[in-house]
Structure 1
Amino acid sequence: MYSTLFFLLTFFSYRTGGNRPFNGRGPFGLGLDLDLDLSTVVRRVDPRFLSVTIDASLASQERFMLLLRSQRIRTLTKALSPAFLRFGGTRQDFMVFSPQSSQQPDADGSCSRVELSWWLEQKLKEEWIQHQLILLKEDQQKQYHRIQFTELTVDELNSFSSCSGLDLIFGMNALLRNTDNSWNSSNARSLLQYCESKQYKISWELGNEPNSYEKKAGIRVDGYQLGLDFSHLRKILSESKLYQDAGLYGPDVGQPHSHRVDLLKSFLQGGADAIDACTWHHYYVNGRDTSLDDFLDPEVLDTLAVKTNEVLEKVEQESPGKAVWLGETSSAYGGGALGLSDTFVSGFMWLDKLGLGARLGLEVVMRQVLLGSGSYHLIDDNLDPLPDYWLSLLYKKLVGPEVLNVSDSGRNKRVRLYLHCANRKSYARGAVVLLWMNLGRKLARISLPDLIANSTVDTFVLQSDQLGEEGLESRSVQLNGVLLKMVDNKTLPDLSGARLPAAGHLKLPAYSLGFFVFLEARASACS
């Protein structure tokens, strides 16, 4: 109670009333004058824009799939609906479906029934922590072993996604090859046959980062052949009564870099008609040699625009109008950067990617990873939500799919701003939400235009539980001065904003990020 009151008193002191002029300088650092357009929707993303992944490494020992029965995980995941749930990653191309008639008890029963006992959950969590050391060694040595999975993996994924309200995308193995290097679809047919017999609603991918097949498996597949493979899979799906209209996404190529661009181009020339959206992967930095400064560097964040525009241009050339998704993305590749990708500072990269990606024209962004190996997860090894989870949850609650134009005076590169219509499930028509972040060590001030200066504001300010630069590597986060944590396995905390009266300016605390919802903006684009 005291911390909430202190925050409100502090934040009220950060506002200046009326429309008095502000010279942009003073003890609080640079000020920014906003310019925005509330009349035009410049982009519209999928309602499932913020989506998540489960890394296929979870199935490397099939017993770990039982973690998806955890009530805690299901509570956290359901709160992110609507979203896609992608099951894939490096190890999907080493997974082979091996059906067994002696099946374990079905996981697709009542969603209200929690089937994972506390003692088994604890045992699996402890074993998973140890197993990740094996996975890490395989990644470092790039020596991967064939993974056999049964109906259990598919059952658990279907139960988890359907009970959580997410749309499942299953990544098939593309490294099963015939002697002529064409894709061998026999194992995929077996998987599809089982899924159809169970009436599972699933969309599909084929392969993960084909540009790296030679490095990780000694197999080279060019874009032309990959296009033929996807066309082959589309034909198989079209012969299925259940999956004839199912989504098919690919090629999940790595971000543009020399031959990867050529692979994407040649793939689209032959396989664009087979896919519903073109997917690619993006990471800012190498998790093995990055630094705290990288996570706060505006120039590093700006590299997303360069790569995205390159992909969008290539797709528009080869397949005009085709949707483009980030099929896998996070802060740092190589499993993330321990102590950075899983801490508060990661939120700057994540929120900027959501804001900038939507503005540039990406329709879906899939966060690596909800659950899996590495250091970039949303839920930690103890199944507790990390700072990027709470940021994702607030985004889902507040941000609508309509992207609006906003710009500023540009004098402070460490303040980054994006504008959307507010989520109509949370706010009335006409409300808008400003996504913002202050990457700097000084408090910043934004001057509001008349369009929104007279509006009541719901404020959602996220800060580390330890203020200052020392808190950037904390695994805890505060919303409006209150530490965020689950109440119990079935209950999330209250995420209400602090409601403030109209005023001409708002201030952004140092090293903070969040959302301002303008309730009476009366934006015609949002009506």
Structure 2
Amino acid sequence: MLTLAFALLLCGAVAAASSISGALKLNADDVAFTTSPSFVSFNFDWWPNGTPAWTNSSVLIVNLTNPLLVYLTSQLSPGHLRIGGTDEDRIVFDIGDSHQSCVDPFCLRMSRWKELINFTQVTGTKLAFGINAMYGRKNRSSHFDPSNAEALMKYTAQEKLPVAAFEFGNELNHGIDPQVYGEDFATMRKMINEIWPDESNRPQLVGPDIGTDSSYFEDFLPVAGPYLNATTYHIYAVGRGTDADLPAHMASLKYLQRQTDEALSMLAIVKKTAPNSELWLGEGAAASHSGLAGATNTFLSGFWYMNALGTTATHGHTALCRQALVGGNYELLNKTTFMPNPDYYTALLYRRLMGQKMLEVTVSSNINDSFAAYAACANQGSPGEIVVAFLNLNTTESIEISLTGIASGPREEFHLTTGEEGNYRSQEMLLNGNLLQIKDGKLPNLSGMNVTGDTPLVAQPMSYGFALYKSAAANACM
């Protein structure tokens, strides 16, 4: 059930905020993990029209030439654009001997294939494309028929069309025996290597894109691990879009903590069974079942998203593929207008500010039930600069933060708050008190607020944001 404080906030009744003090201890001498320039990634899905949350957003029909879509996607470059989802394993490619079985709405024609690849080239994103792993498969113990995938790959290579990675199958842990699935990945690896003999332009192989099914991974990875460039998994950490209590859970660090727990569990499995593979969160949002309109597409979703970005980047992940760029009730961009939802700005600020070198942060025990923080070397700053990403889920109290482990000095702050006071399910968001909105097809000013070093960092109730410490002199970032 909703807490009384949170229920009042949803109704717009806001108590006057008091303030409590907390502390962050930063290890500025060592890098906890180095992630990838493509870490902030995102998805397209195959859902055909007929599902209201996905109207006109299938990868087969979304308008890839819309100037706003192209522009806003390019701002997230060089992230991966993953194309996958449930219907991935129904898609037939209209190439080779597949013409009779290539039937709409599950037919990818080569004209559209070229349009998709052109979209990634124009936007500077990296295509991670899902291959139908059920093609020709008779039962869970039989192997797939690679002929359709091979025809697509040969056409792609002959046309010199760049693909960063091929994914193979989507959430098939209940449909294929892990040993058989692993052997099919060996077949995929052999095909890719033969079709692209030059390693410099060879697509990666990633998968299996299943949920956090540890027993399946432990059987699958010893077989498939040697052939994988990245091990991928899916998680919708907070709950289902059909859950009436979802909004309250999205505002609870207790529920957000599941993201950290599963990230650490997956990291341990991959280190043990596929140590040469990267680790991607291949599909994720706050809630499954297409999310919940009025929650997963609002300011409220940013608490999950900031926490997910920070925890996966710190704990061994090189990509977080957000479900979805367009489509569902958790989309970054509105499927009709392509205008940003709040999480788009969160993704953009994270990509611009947070670098690849992640640092360890410890939150003092008096606030760690409602406050979380992550730190990285600054993305494009001077040597030694660091950025702290923070979220305050306290509904009534601001938190004054003291930071130890770095030199004090001036900083730049980026405070993200709801665009409608007291309404945390708003689709409007403020940056340092200024409404974020597209004007004349261009992004608003996303600069921070300059603050002197003797002023404490204050995170308002129910807010998140970033602080760029310009004089940190962090040894790990030199």
TM superposition score normalised by structure 1: 0.80
Counterparts of 2:393 and 2:466 in 1: how far apart (Å)? Answer: 15
Aligned-partner residue type, residue 270 of structure 1: V
Change (3 A) 1:27 1:366: closer
Q: 1:194 aligns with which of 136, 155, 159?
A: 155
Change (3 A) 1:247 1:188: same
> Deviations along 1:271-324, whole A, 9 cap, x unmatched?
111110110001121111142110011111111122222222222222224321
Counterparts of 1:231 and 1:145 in 2: how far apart (Å)? Answer: 30
Cross-structure match for 2:3: none
* 1:174 has 2:174 as partner: no
Cross-structure match for 1:307: 262
Cross-structure match for 2:207: 250
Counterparts of 1:385 and 1:166 in 2: how far apart (Å)? Answer: 18
For structure 1, which runs of at least 5 residues remain unmatched after alignment? 1-25, 101-143, 213-219
Aligned partner of residue 323 in structure 2, secondary structure: strand
What is the deviation of 1:170?
0.7
What is the deviation of 1:422?
0.8
Q: How does 1:48-447 map to 2 (within 5 A)?
A: 48-57=38-47, 65=61, 67-99=63-95, 147-179=106-138, 181-202=142-163, 203-212=165-174, 220-241=175-196, 245-255=202-212, 260-284=213-237, 285-289=239-243, 290-372=245-327, 374-381=328-335, 382-412=337-367, 413-424=369-380, 427-447=381-401
* Identity score, percent: 30
Larger Rg: 1
Aligned-partner residue type, residue 196 of structure 1: A
Q: Is the 8 A contact 1:59 1:149 kept in 2?
A: no
Counterparts of 1:63 and 1:404 in 2: how far apart (Å)? Answer: 37
Q: Is the 8 A contact 1:448 1:505 kept in 2?
A: yes
Aligned-partner residue type, residue 454 of structure 2: A
Aligned partner of residue 312 in structure 1, secondary structure: helix
Counterparts of 1:27 and 1:252 in 2: how far apart (Å)? Answer: 43
Q: How does 1:10-21 map to 2 (within 5 A)?
A: none
Aligned-partner residue type, residue 350 of structure 1: Y
Counterparts of 1:251 and 1:98 in 2: how far apart (Å)? Answer: 24
Change (3 A) 1:409 1:252: same
Q: Is the 8 A contact 2:240 2:246 kept in 1?
A: no
* 1:47 has 2:37 as partner: yes
Aligned-partner residue type, residue 205 of structure 1: E
Aligned partner of residue 69 in structure 1, secondary structure: coil
Moved more, 231-240 or 300-309: 300-309
Aligned partner of residue 29 in structure 1, secondary structure: strand
Counterparts of 2:475 and 2:455 in 1: how far apart (Å)? Answer: 21
> Deviations along 1:150-203, whole A, 9 cap, x unmatched?
012211210111110111011000111345721111111111122112211112
Cross-structure match for 2:475: 524
Aligned-partner residue type, residue 274 of structure 1: Y
> Deviations along 1:328-382, whole A, 9 cap, x unmatched?
111101111121100100000000001111122222111110012x101000122
Aligned partner of residue 459 in structure 1, secondary structure: strand
What is the deviation of 1:450?
5.8
Aligned-partner residue type, residue 165 of structure 1: G
Aligned partner of residue 330 in structure 1, secondary structure: strand
Change (3 A) 1:177 1:356: same
Change (3 A) 1:198 1:478: same
Q: Is the 8 A contact 1:96 1:146 kept in 2?
A: no
For structure 2, which runs of at least 5 residues remain unmatched after alignment? 1-15, 51-55, 97-102
Cross-structure match for 1:487: 439
Aligned-partner residue type, residue 190 of structure 1: A
Which has a greater percent of helix?
A: 1
TM superposition score normalised by structure 2: 0.88
Q: Is the 8 A contact 1:343 1:387 kept in 2?
A: yes
Aligned length: 443
Q: Is the 8 A contact 2:46 2:59 kept in 1?
A: no
Aligned partner of residue 211 in structure 1, secondary structure: coil
What is the deviation of 1:520?
0.8
